[in-house]
Amino acid sequence: MAERKTVPTMKDVAREAGVALGTVSKVVNGLPVGEEYRTRVNEAIIKLDYRINSYAKGLKATRTNTVAVLMPNLINPFFTSLVSAIGRALAAKGCRMLVYETDSDPGMEQANVILAEQQKVDGIICLSYNQNLKVSDGVTLISIDRYFGTRIPCVASDNYGGGMLAAEKLIENGCRHLAFLRIGTKLTNEPIKRKDGFIAACEAAGIEYTLKILDDGAPFSAFGDFLGEHYHDGKLDFDGIFCVTDSMAYLIKKMITEMGLRVPEDVQIVGYDGVQMFGDLDYTCSTIVQPVQAMAETCVDMVLNPDGAKNPSLVCLPVSYAYGGTTKA
Amino acid sequence: MAERKTVPTMKDVAREAGVALGTVSKVVNGLPVGEEYRTRVNEAIIKLDYRINSYAKGLKATRTNTVAVLMPNLINPFFTSLVSAIGRALAAKGCRMLVYETDSDPGMEQANVILAEQQKVDGIICLSYNQNLKVSDGVTLISIDRYFGTRIPCVASDNYGGGMLAAEKLIENGCRHLAFLRIGTKLTNEPIKRKDGFIAACEAAGIEYTLKILDDGAPFSAFGDFLGEHYHDGKLDFDGIFCVTDSMAYLIKKMITEMGLRVPEDVQIVGYDGVQMFGDLDYTCSTIVQPVQAMAETCVDMVLNPDGAKNPSLVCLPVSYAYGGTTKA
């Protein structure tokens, strides 16, 4: 006989947290309890991997038309454009949106999932940095950009195609030696494919390329050192740069301008995301535009899909190129 | 004897909507009903000005630790910075945030208030364009920038002081004839005081000034016509411009540059809001920075204040000046 895994009960949570059963019940049902008790109960829930089953079953019976959205922050304009589009897609289906900023912190993400579940959400859409994120049965989880395994659907832009398009546009604009610059998470994720697409397009065109890849948390000044190493006789070794985000393209353009070089005359730059000034004015740079609207609608369709098991495990949506002044066209 | 106003009951709502009483109850309690029924019930609630009293009383007994935030959009970076700061201030108090985009549409705002109340929120923080916004008893409403009368607390930056500061900084930087440009709502609101502060500072310094004020919805090109009328012999009549928002400052700078004039050498520009590139990089222009963090914390303290009657009716928080390249310092 195979070993039967014991499913933790509310009683186990109470014992672990050192509180009365009623206190656990209050926390799980979103009722008022002292802040310290709430923290202890939530920590015990995470530790024991307690799934709020009875309540999750209740969820199935009565949908609350409420969906939680977890984002690293609401400061980065790409993230806010996603939240905006998701909120509008939810509203069009008569649903409310709870929003959480997680600061890309795995613990904060898990705590927010628990808070959201206590509010009895129908589902959660997240851009997460926690590949072990635990969600109760009956709550649908949809991931943007991050891959959590085949059971959690992931929605992303066509990052591979976007990387190809960036290289192709730089080559089309006369560049003969390209550079690829990235700073980002090491977790399995879709944006990492921007590099693969970029390399494929360079190799197809027989164009030389240089890569500089930093892990999240590395000092941005390392890119300055990189540019310095590739600067000889008043020129850079490369005449086209693909930066993995628009904000990075903005900072790299500043560095290059401070070196006395001109953008786009001496060096052309393409970013990724499609960020516009003040949200709806000029593009901040020439860029690969993510299909934010389509991504949001896909997330919402999947999170509200009553037959969630039929959701695909990965949906990549087509990107486009937009001129924004940092390339010749 | 004074006429006694009849308070509408749930039965009246059912009669008006032409639905069963149970359907009204379901809508009011956020339970699933057909979309058409929900719409009819919500319309009847608005028409009869039905206040969900029994449920509002329930609210007082069990707080849900959930607050709704109504914003015109999540595209404008000033609005998103407010939502971000409000969300963080709420999270610090263990509260969840429901977010609604209203497109500045009064009907959408009222509909969202009803949706939020069905989710049994403790309170609502809004930047609204509906001066008749109706909220149920027991739900605290806090307004940002808009004045709804003395019973609804309003939180804003010190707009009058900000207008003065903008004029003073331009004068300090050598300007001798200023212009004030505004496009915005005609509703009673705090930002309108930016003009009064600007005028007061010009008059105190004995500096000439010109005003150009457009109502919301006017074509932005009217500012181009205005600049054209004040352009003589390769120069503008004024050498300093205060624009009521940073996004406006961005557009006016483009217009002035296209006229062949240099910013800040020929014309200096100050905006208002404190918008930064990508949320946390350079300021988009020299600007009066709104104290977003303090505004958010004040809204949250007031919306969660158990003794809401003691909230002040207006709180104006101090602004600061930030150099962002469109002035000489």
Q: What is the pLDDT of residues B253-278, one digit of tens each?
A: 999 999 999 999 999 999 999 999 99
Query: How many beta-carbon pairs under 8 angstroms link A with B?
Result: 119
Please, what is the average pLDDT of chain A?
90
Structural domain contains residue A303: yes
Cα–Cα dist B114/A253, whole Å: 47
**The most confident of A245-254, B88-97, B127-136, by mean pLDDT:** A245-254
Residue, of B50 and A251, whose pLDDT is higher: A251
Of A131, A95, A164, A76, the C-alpha closest to B118 is A95
Cα–Cα dist B313/B97, whole Å: 23
Q: Note whether A172 and A269 are same-domain residues.
A: yes
pLDDT at A207: 98
What percent of chain B has a predicted confidence (pLDDT) above 70? Answer: 93
Question: Hey, is the C-beta of A73 within 8 angstroms of any chain B C-beta?
Answer: yes
Task: Tell me the per-residue pLDDT of A320-329, one tens digit each, with 9 for 90 and over.
Answer: 999 999 999 9
Q: Note whether B279 and B230 are same-domain residues.
A: yes
pLDDT band at A137; cut points 50, 70, 90: confident
For residue B38, pLDDT beyond 90: no
For residue B160, pLDDT beyond 50: yes
pLDDT at A262: 98
Residue, of B148 and B252, whose pLDDT is higher: B252
Nearest to A97 among B94, B99, B246 (CB): B99
Structural domain contains residue A116: yes
Question: Hey, is the C-beta of A306 within 8 angstroms of any chain B C-beta?
Answer: no
SS3 state of residue A168: helix
Q: Note whether A181 and A234 are same-domain residues.
A: yes
Q: Note whether B33 and B103 are same-domain residues.
A: no
Question: Hey, is the C-beta of B110 within 8 angstroms of any chain A C-beta?
Answer: no
DSSP B194: H
A270-283: average pLDDT? 98
Residue, of B283 and A31, whose pLDDT is higher: B283
Check CB contact under 8 Å for B87 and A81: no
For residue B176, pLDDT beyond 90: yes
CATH code of residue A281: 3.40.50.2300
Check CB contact under 8 Å for A247 and B281: yes
pLDDT at A315: 96
Contact A18, A40 (CB under 8 A): yes
Domain count for chain B, please give it. 3
Chain A hits for B76, Cβ within 8 Å: 278-279
Nearest to A74 among B84, B100, B250 (CB): B84
* Containing structural domain, residue B95: 66-157+293-317
B192-204: average pLDDT? 97
Structural domain contains residue A304: yes
Structural domain contains residue B328: no
pLDDT at B325: 98
pLDDT at B61: 47
A80-108: average pLDDT? 94
Q: Note whether A116 and A86 are same-domain residues.
A: yes
How big is chain B by its Cα radius of gyration, in Å?
23
Check CB contact under 8 Å for A84 and B91: no
Interface of B with A in 135-174 (CB under 8 A): none
Please, what is the average pLDDT of chain B?
90
Cis peptide before A318 (omega within 30 of 0): no
Check CB contact under 8 Å for B279 and A73: yes
pLDDT at A5: 52
A218-243: average pLDDT? 96
Structural domain contains residue A202: yes
For residue A100, pLDDT beyond 70: yes
Question: Hey, is the C-beta of A115 within 8 angstroms of any chain B C-beta?
Answer: yes
Q: Note whether A73 and A148 are same-domain residues.
A: yes
Contact A241, A181 (CB under 8 A): yes
For residue B159, pLDDT beyond 70: yes
Q: pTM (2 decimals)?
A: 0.83
For residue A1, pLDDT beyond 70: no
pLDDT at B250: 98
Chain B hits for A76, Cβ within 8 Å: 278-279
Structural domain contains residue B207: yes
Shortest distance, CA B89 to any CA of chain A (angstroms):
11
Structural domain contains residue A1: no
pLDDT at B29: 62
Q: Note whether B147 and B167 are same-domain residues.
A: no
Q: Note whether A151 and A300 are same-domain residues.
A: yes
For residue B234, pLDDT beyond 70: yes
pLDDT at B52: 56
Cα angle at B295 between B293 and B300, to 5 degrees?
Answer: 95
Cα–Cα dist B252/A122, whole Å: 46
